[in-house]
Amino acid sequence: MNRAFYIGRFQPYHLGHHAVIKKIVKEVDEIVVGIGSAQQSHTVSDPFTAGERVMMVSRSLEELGIIYYVIPIADVDRHAIWVSHVRSLTPPFNIVYSNNPLVIDLFSETNIQTKRSPLFQRGIYSGTEIRRRMLADEAWEDLVPKAVAEVIKEIDGVRRLKDLSRTDVPSSATVF
Ligand code: NAD
């Protein structure tokens, strides 16, 4: 039995992430997906809550016909204990897929098998690019699974991002 772990911030979950997971599930029996930086939401770079990201990932994975677990994981302020923190929250896993150098380093140091996941069209399948398009009223729906576009519409996510982009830049006349 091989159970994989894959973590991302998924702000939002997009077709690059989905392509990686489709590849992983061909190699393992089950997958644990960590929703990283779970404590973050309502900022321009992290607009969606952990719960909203759980919906995005869970609904997208339904089509893959594999057993999966989607677990929110808040950050901790010491990298040295992060792997233990992750393991305390997740079902046990024996292989980690990632392209994030810090994630790979931290797991490698604890002797868990790690595999570099491939990148798919990083230039456009990127949370930064998707959020930019949302703010610029450009088409973004074709960069995410259909289920993610539906969740973002349900929660009025583009309006939230636009509101945040306005409040993130306080005018000189605003005194808090
Ligand atoms: P992310 O959503 O940017 O990316 C997730 C994964 O998808 C990465 O491996 C990334 O390389 C990959 N990816 C992105 N675009 C892709 C594409 N087009 N094609 C294929 N793959 C693509 O998230 P992230 O920042 O890598 O997530 C790591 C999480 O782990 C963060 O939330 C971070 O805070 C957390 N973390 C926390 C600690 C701590 O709390 N001390 C330590 C390490 C990591």
Given this model, what pLDDT does residue 117 score?
A: 85
Question: Strands across the sheet with 95-98, in order?
Answer: 67-72, 30-35, 3-8, 95-98, 113-116
Question: b or e along 32-56 (b: 16 or more beta carbons within 10 Å of the residue's beta carbon)?
Answer: bbbbbbbebbeebebbbbbebbbbb
Question: Residue 31: which of 39, 21, 41, 40 has the closest Cα?
Answer: 21
CA-nearest residue, atom 28 of ligand 1: 8
Atom of ligand 1 nearest to the CA of 37: 32
Given this model, what pLDDT does residue 169 score?
A: 56
Given this model, what pLDDT does residue 53 score?
A: 98
- Extract the residue ranges of the chain whose pLDDT is less than 50: 171, 173-176
> Bridge partners of 104?
none
- For residue 34, report the distance from its CA to the centre of ligand 1, in Å: 10
Q: How far apart are CA 96 and CA 113, in angstroms?
A: 6
Tokens for 56?
């995005």
Pocket test for ligand 1, best of 5, 6, 7 (most atoms within 8 A of CB): 7
The gap from C-alpha 155 to its chain's centroid, in whole angstroms, comes to 17
**Residue 80: CB partners within 8 Å, gap ≥ 6?**
none
**Long-range pairs for 163-167 at CB < 8 Å and ≥24 separation?**
164/42, 164/43, 164/44, 164/47, 165/44, 165/135
Domain extents in the chain:
3-165
Given this model, what pLDDT does residue 170 score?
A: 55
Given this model, what pLDDT does residue 175 score?
A: 45
**Strand 3-8 versus strand 30-35 pairing type:** parallel
Pocket of ligand 1 from Cβ distances under 6 Å: 7-10, 16-17, 20, 36-37, 75-76, 79, 82, 98-100, 102-103, 106, 117, 119-122, 125-127
Considering the segment(s) 3-165 as one domain, its CATH architecture is 3-Layer(aba) Sandwich (3.40)
Given this model, what pLDDT does residue 111 score?
A: 85
